[in-house]
């Protein structure tokens, strides 16, 4: 009987062995918790230089400067003369103490950041003396450097990756302390600019003392340098636009119509991008964020305004294509609820554009809305508006154009559904929406979209989505979406009508005389964006020359008054600068550089700051965003 007991003994051995084998299988193969908890191999990232950014003539806009971060290991630190050390780093004794306290709190044996971003010159001064202070070590790092204090909004900035961004990333690339593009091109082209981080694996013992590279660097990866961005920005023009937009709030966007390349993109007031590349980032950011004129707000792509009379060009084009009017159609002022500025007799679409006649476009829009067979006035309005919506949408309104900048606003191009939701189905008709006819009411556009409209008209019917980058790294082409032509579906002949009207508007129409550029045929259209509080916003779109246009532009000056007044001179000067390379009208230039429209800006009480920085002219808060909430019927169209 005892003989059989051997089987129990065998069984016991085998069962335990199986249990242990399964446990080992789990620990070593199935579960990787313990592998990731490994603490003897430290991955040291090798962060490559970020790509540089160039303008269209190959001039550097953004590059990197080598800086040095100083680290301290409290346990290794031996300081005989604290005062001498403080003098070396140019800090006070108390700030030295607080830095050391923070370092000790983090770890006594691991290095903590002591001082960040020391310039090469400062570091050279310290480097030799550092030998006398064991415990200090340095690491090379780089900061973004700008060749000119321009283009802050479009370039964006780089800063330490946030906790939220760390959690949100799909592929775990970023780690605590990494830099990431936070806005503008830096954000949009982050992957190309950052390159690929390399990793060196080193071993360390239980006291975190380095013990050499792991497996002789077999697993290490080499860092890939970031790719350069070749933008279409013209640095000269950009600087000139910034200088013209000083003391003003608003935006300028200039596009090369044939390619969709953005030549200049400005949001005023602006700030020096270098402010965000220093160790005082948080301080500077907070200061700008509190500025009541919102210099951080990128008006060029985010600001939503009513287009005002600039939108009449679209109305004319859509109406002619639809067949609601012909190029020769003439309407009287009678029956229209809005006034006209006064002008001679009209002889068709081109002269209506030239004089920006409000009643004319009231009738044009009415024709379009009722150009269908519906008997019921509500149903007819709905069907008409929907058709108008479909045709106008092709100009890029009410949607993102897809510029290579983050946070582009869509704007609003109302369709039938829009009013159904607001007012109720079959409860609204033309009488409630006629403000749209002259670019008021619920319409909201961004300066970028208006610049694109100027480009469409310049091209007589098509556009390429505006973009800033025409080449990345060795690839000399822009992204594929920036080669695609978008057609508006409007006949070229109708465009010529509008172009003629715009030409005449400059020569003898709504545009002020001074805006005429000698020797250059500029076609333009003014716009006055209504504003509930304060003066109207001044808008101007233009392109030049009339034939084979090289530049299309949109200028917004908040609270600048009538469109032909403030915005047109700025556009005119910019076009002259771009086409001729210099500006001959020096007095005119000086006058508009000095014009101050910021004083007109009404700041909401809650944002008024007695200590608001004086040196930066503060821009007015765009009222347009508030208008969005108004009911259509309450807006009183005035003019264009």
Partner 1 sequence: MARNEQNIIQNLDWLTVLIYAACVTMGLFNVYASVYDPEEQTKLFDISNNAGRQFMFIGTSTLIIIAILVIDHKFWEVFAPFIYGACILLLLVVLVVATDIKGSKSWIKFGSFSLQPAEFAKTGTALLLSRYITQPNINLSRWKDMAWAAGLIILPMILIIASKEVGCALVFVSFLIVLYREGIPGIYPAIVVISIVLFILSLFFSPLYISLGLGVIGVLVFYFVIPRYDRNRKTAINLVVIFGAMMLFTTSVEFLINNVLQTHHRNRIKVLVDPKIDPTGIGWNVTQSKIAIGSGRLWGKGFLDGTQTKFNFVPEQHSDFIFCTIGEEHGFIGSAAVVLLILGMMCRIVFLAERQRTRFARAYGYCVAGILFFHFLVNVGMTIGLMVVIGIPLPFFSYGGSSMWSFTILLFIFLKLDAQRPFTLSRT
19 sits near partner 1 (criterion: CB under 8 A): yes
Q: Residue 8 or 547: which CB sits closer to partner 1?
A: 8
40 sits near partner 1 (criterion: CB under 8 A): yes
End-to-end alpha-carbon separation of the chain, Å? 112
17 sits near partner 1 (criterion: CB under 8 A): yes
106 sits near partner 1 (criterion: CB under 8 A): no
How many other CB atoms are there within 10 angstroms of residue 15's CB atom?
Answer: 10
Stretch that binds partner 1, among 51-59, 111-119, 209-217, 499-507 (CB under 8 A): 209-217
Burial class of residue 528, CB neighbours in 10 A (0-12, 13-18, 19+): buried
Q: Residue 12 or 84: which CB sits closer to partner 1?
A: 12
35 sits near partner 1 (criterion: CB under 8 A): yes
Stretch that binds partner 1, among 32-40, 228-236, 373-381, 550-558 (CB under 8 A): 32-40
How large is the greatest C-alpha to C-alpha distance in the chain, in angstroms?
Answer: 127
199 sits near partner 1 (criterion: CB under 8 A): no
Cβ–Cβ under 8 Å, residues 384 and 372? yes
Is the peptide bond preceding residue 450 cis, with omega within 30 degrees of 0? no
24 sits near partner 1 (criterion: CB under 8 A): yes
Q: Site for partner 1 (CB under 8 A): which residue of 16, 225, 289, 602? A: 16
Query: For residue 47, which phi and psi values (nearest 5 degrees)?
Result: -90, 120
Q: Site for partner 1 (CB under 8 A): which residue of 172, 212, 480, 518? A: 212
List CB contacts of 619: < 8 A, sequence separation 6 or more.
248, 249, 250, 268, 269, 293, 294, 295, 299, 558, 598, 601
List CB contacts of 383: < 8 A, sequence separation 6 or more.
372, 374, 416
23 sits near partner 1 (criterion: CB under 8 A): yes
Find the binding residues for partner 1 in span 505-544 (CB under 8 A).
none
How many whole angstroms separate alpha carbon 71 and alpha carbon 137?
Answer: 5
Q: Residue 68 or 214: which CB sits closer to partner 1?
A: 214
Q: Site for partner 1 (CB under 8 A): which residue of 64, 112, 145, 204? A: 204
Beta-bridge partners for 412: 444
10 sits near partner 1 (criterion: CB under 8 A): yes
Q: Site for partner 1 (CB under 8 A): which residue of 101, 140, 215, 533? A: 215
Cβ–Cβ under 8 Å, residues 528 and 537? yes
> What DSSP assignment string belongs to 344-406?
S---SHHHHHHHT-HHHHHHHHHHHHT-S---SHHHHHHHHHHHHHHHHHTTTTTS----SSS
CB of 15 to partner 1, least distance (A): 11
Q: Site for partner 1 (CB under 8 A): which residue of 43, 100, 203, 603? A: 203
Is the peptide bond preceding residue 354 cis, with omega within 30 degrees of 0? no
14 sits near partner 1 (criterion: CB under 8 A): yes
Q: Residue 35 or 128: which CB sits closer to partner 1?
A: 35
9 sits near partner 1 (criterion: CB under 8 A): yes
Cβ–Cβ under 8 Å, residues 496 and 344? no
Q: Residue 29 or 286: which CB sits closer to partner 1?
A: 29
Residue 501: enclosing H or E segment and its boundaries? helix 492-508
Stretch that binds partner 1, among 20-28, 270-278, 389-397, 556-564 (CB under 8 A): 20-28
211 sits near partner 1 (criterion: CB under 8 A): yes
Please give the size of the binding site for partner 1, defined by CB under 8 A.
Answer: 39
Q: Residue 9 or 587: which CB sits closer to partner 1?
A: 9
How many whole angstroms separate alpha carbon 518 and alpha carbon 107?
Answer: 70
12 sits near partner 1 (criterion: CB under 8 A): yes
Q: Residue 101 or 211: which CB sits closer to partner 1?
A: 211
Q: Site for partner 1 (CB under 8 A): which residue of 2, 94, 548, 608? A: 2
Q: Residue 24 or 289: which CB sits closer to partner 1?
A: 24
109 sits near partner 1 (criterion: CB under 8 A): no
587 sits near partner 1 (criterion: CB under 8 A): no
Q: Residue 42 or 287: which CB sits closer to partner 1?
A: 42
How many whole angstroms separate alpha carbon 465 and alpha carbon 483?
Answer: 8
Q: Residue 23 or 279: which CB sits closer to partner 1?
A: 23
How many other CB atoms are there within 10 angstroms of residue 221's CB atom?
Answer: 15
Kindly state the tokens that stand for 533. 């509080």
Name the nearest CA neighbour of 531 among 394, 630, 430: 630
27 sits near partner 1 (criterion: CB under 8 A): yes
Q: Is beta strand 41-46 parallel, antiparallel or unpaired with respect to 198-204?
A: antiparallel
Residues that bind partner 1 in the complex, under the rule CB under 8 A: 2, 5-6, 8-10, 12-14, 16-17, 19-21, 23-25, 27-29, 31-35, 37-41, 203-207, 211-212, 214-215
């Amino acid at each position: 009987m005892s003989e059989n007991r051997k089987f129990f003994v065998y069984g016991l051995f085998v069962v335990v062995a199986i249990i242990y084998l399964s446990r080992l299988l789990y620990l070593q193969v199935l579960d990787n918790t313990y592998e990731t908890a490994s603490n003897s191999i430290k991955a040291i990232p090798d962060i490559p230089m970020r790509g540089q950014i160039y303008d269209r003539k190959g001039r550097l806009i953004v590059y990197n400067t080598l800086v040095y971060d100083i680290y301290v290991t409290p346990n290794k630190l031996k300081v005989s003369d604290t005062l001498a050390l403080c003098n070396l780093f140019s800090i006070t004794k108390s700030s030295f103490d607080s830095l050391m306290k923070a370092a000790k709190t983090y770890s006594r044996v691991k290095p903590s950041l002591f001082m960040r971003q020391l310039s090469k010159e400062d570091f050279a001064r310290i480097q030799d003396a550092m030998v006398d202070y064991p415990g200090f070590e340095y690491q090379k790092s780089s900061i973004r450097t700008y060749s000119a204090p321009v283009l802050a909004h479009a370039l964006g900035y780089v800063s330490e990756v946030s906790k939220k961004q760390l959690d949100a990333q799909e592929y775990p690339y970023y780690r605590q302390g990494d830099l990431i593009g936070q806005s503008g091109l830096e954000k949009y082209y982050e992957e190309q600019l950052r390159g690929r981080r390399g990793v060196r694996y080193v071993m360390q013992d239980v006291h975190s003392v380095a013990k050499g590279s792991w497996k002789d660097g077999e697993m290490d990866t080499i860092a890939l340098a970031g790719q350069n961005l070749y933008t279409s920005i013209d640095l000269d023009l950009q600087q000139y636009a910034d200088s013209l937009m000083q003391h003003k709030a608003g935006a300028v966007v200039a596009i090369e119509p044939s390619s969709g390349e953005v030549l200049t993109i400005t949001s005023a007031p602006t700030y020096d991008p270098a402010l965000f590349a220093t160790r005082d980032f948080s301080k500077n950011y907070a200061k700008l964020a509190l500025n009541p004129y919102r210099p951080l707000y990128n008006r060029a792509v985010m600001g939503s305004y009513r287009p005002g009379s600039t939108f009449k060009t679209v109305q004319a084009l859509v109406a002619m294509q639809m067949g609601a009017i012909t190029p020769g159609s003439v309407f009287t002022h009678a029956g229209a609820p809005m006034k006209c500025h006064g002008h001679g007799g009209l002889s068709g679409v081109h002269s209506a554009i030239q004089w920006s006649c409000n009643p004319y476009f009231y009738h044009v829009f009415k024709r379009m809305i009722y150009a269908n067979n519906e008997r019921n006035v509500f149903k007819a309005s709905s069907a008409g508006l929907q058709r108008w919506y479909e045709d106008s949408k092709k100009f890029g309104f009410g949607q993102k154009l897809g510029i290579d900048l983050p946070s582009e606003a869509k704007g609003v191009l109302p369709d039938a559904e829009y009013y159904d939701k607001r007012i109720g189905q079959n409860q609204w008709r033309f009488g409630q929406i006629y403000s749209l006819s002259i670019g008021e009411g619920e319409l909201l556009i961004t300066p970028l979209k208006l610049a694109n409209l100027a480009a469409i008209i310049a091209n007589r019917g098509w556009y390429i989505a505006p973009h800033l980058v025409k080449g990345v790294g060795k690839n000399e082409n822009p992204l594929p979406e920036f080669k695609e032509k978008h057609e508006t579906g409007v006949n070229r002949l109708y465009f010529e009508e509008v172009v003629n009207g715009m030409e005449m508007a400059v020569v003898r129409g709504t545009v002020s005389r001074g805006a005429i550029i000698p020797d250059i045929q500029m076609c333009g259209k003014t716009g006055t964006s209504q504003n509930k509080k304060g003066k109207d916003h001044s808008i101007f779109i233009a392109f030049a020359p009339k034939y084979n246009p090289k530049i299309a532009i949109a200028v917004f000056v908040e609270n600048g008054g009538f469109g032909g007044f403030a915005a047109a001179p700025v556009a005119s000067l910019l076009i002259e600068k771009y086409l001729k390379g210099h500006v001959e009208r020096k007095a005119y230039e000086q006058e508009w550089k000095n014009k101050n429209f910021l004083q007109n800006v009404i700041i909401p009480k809650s944002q008024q700051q007695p200590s608001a920085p004086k040196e930066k002219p503060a821009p007015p808060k765009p009222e347009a965003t508030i208008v969005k909430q108004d009911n259509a019927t309450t807006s009183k169209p005035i003019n264009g």
